Amino acid sequence: MHDTSKLFSARNCTCVFGHGKHRVTALNDLTFDIAEHEIVSLVGGSGCGKSVLAKVMLNLLKPTSGFFLYKGTAITDQRNHWREVQPVFQDPFSCFNQFFTIRSQLKSAFGIMKVKPSTGEIEERVDRALRAVNIVPSEIEGKYPFELSGGQMQRMLLARIFALRPKVLIADEPTSMVDACVRANILDYLMKLKKELGMTIVFITHDIGLAYYVSDRILVMHNGGIVEQGAPDDVALRPKNEHTVRLLEDIPDINREWLEKK
């Protein structure tokens, strides 16, 4: 029987785009598992396949060959899958409609649920979720996305996650468009999601320093493959693969202090 503590299981998962000389192998023979309640970071340079893997996890893309299973079975029902597995992307503005208030969009997000909470409960959960990301609900009352900064909008995306409480969060470079101060907050919210709601989190970043800070386990990707994986202390402090070493050299100075605290 399948071990149900494993939420995601990739077995020789390969994803190819294009043909002939335009052929790109975005994911190359990946085999790994992600257990419930883990924070796993996918780390790698630009173009190594992180976002393609995020899309496979969200069932927006199917592998060309091999298997990608959720709770031991292939993903068939997209809506059911999205009830449990929700994304936070790099550009929060692309995830909100400019013509509706933020609050109305946080409320309508509950439409994905099988059993929709009552109107009163939805209002309450939205308020609680906003406070979880340090926003006083009245601050955004009547506001539209264009009236907020990128950092505030990124927090709105996380508020959506706090409100909906999916089982799994796929966070694809959620901190790459915000300044260092907001970045630290977002990392703290991710850890809070795990601690308070037991959420399983896949955190995607090109910055192995951030991965070191938040994760239980790090998978290092290069050219569509996993080149090294393990506990953050092993991967970041005792790297074995040359690509991991290069990522460690590329950590911006501002994040380096986290590594050096050890």
Residues at the site binding ligand ADP, with contacts judged by CB under 6 A: 17-18, 24, 26, 44, 46-52
Task: Give the sign of the dihedral formed by CA 107, CA 108, CA 111, CA 113.
Answer: negative
Q: C-beta of 204: minimal distance to ligand ADP in Å? A: 7
Q: C-beta of 54: minimal distance to Mg ion in Å? A: 7
Tokens 């990392």 belong to residue: 187
How do the residues of the chain divide into helix, strand and coil, expressed in percent and rounded to 5? 45, 25, 30
* Residue 259 contacts residue 250 (beta carbons within 8 Å): no
Q: What contacts 62, CB < 8 A, 6 or more positions away? A: 56, 68
With respect to ligand ADP, which residue has the nearer C-beta, 55 or 103? 55
Instruction: From the list ligand ADP, Mg ion, none, pick the one residue 180 interacts with, judged by a Cβ distance below 5 to 8 Å according to partner type.
Output: none
With respect to ligand ADP, which residue has the nearer C-beta, 24 or 136? 24
With respect to ligand ADP, which residue has the nearer C-beta, 44 or 174? 44
With respect to ligand ADP, which residue has the nearer C-beta, 24 or 180? 24
Instruction: From the list ligand ADP, Mg ion, none, pick the one residue 49 interacts with, judged by a Cβ distance below 5 to 8 Å according to partner type.
Output: ligand ADP
Task: Kindly identify the residues of this chain, within the stretch 1-40, that bind Mg ion according to CB under 5 A.
Answer: none
The residues pairing with 171 across neighbouring beta strands, listed in sequence order, are 88, 203
Neighbouring C-beta atoms of residue 191, cutoff 10 Å:
14
Instruction: Kindly state the helix (H) or strand (E) to which residue 28 belongs, with its residue range.
Output: strand 24-35
Instruction: From the list Mg ion, ligand ADP, none, pick the one residue 138 interacts with, judged by a Cβ distance below 5 to 8 Å according to partner type.
Output: none
> Which of 51, 86, 154, 229 is the binder for Mg ion (CB under 5 A)?
51
With respect to ligand ADP, which residue has the nearer C-beta, 92 or 145? 92
Neighbouring C-beta atoms of residue 14, cutoff 10 Å:
17
Residues engaged in binding Mg ion (CB under 5 A): 50-51
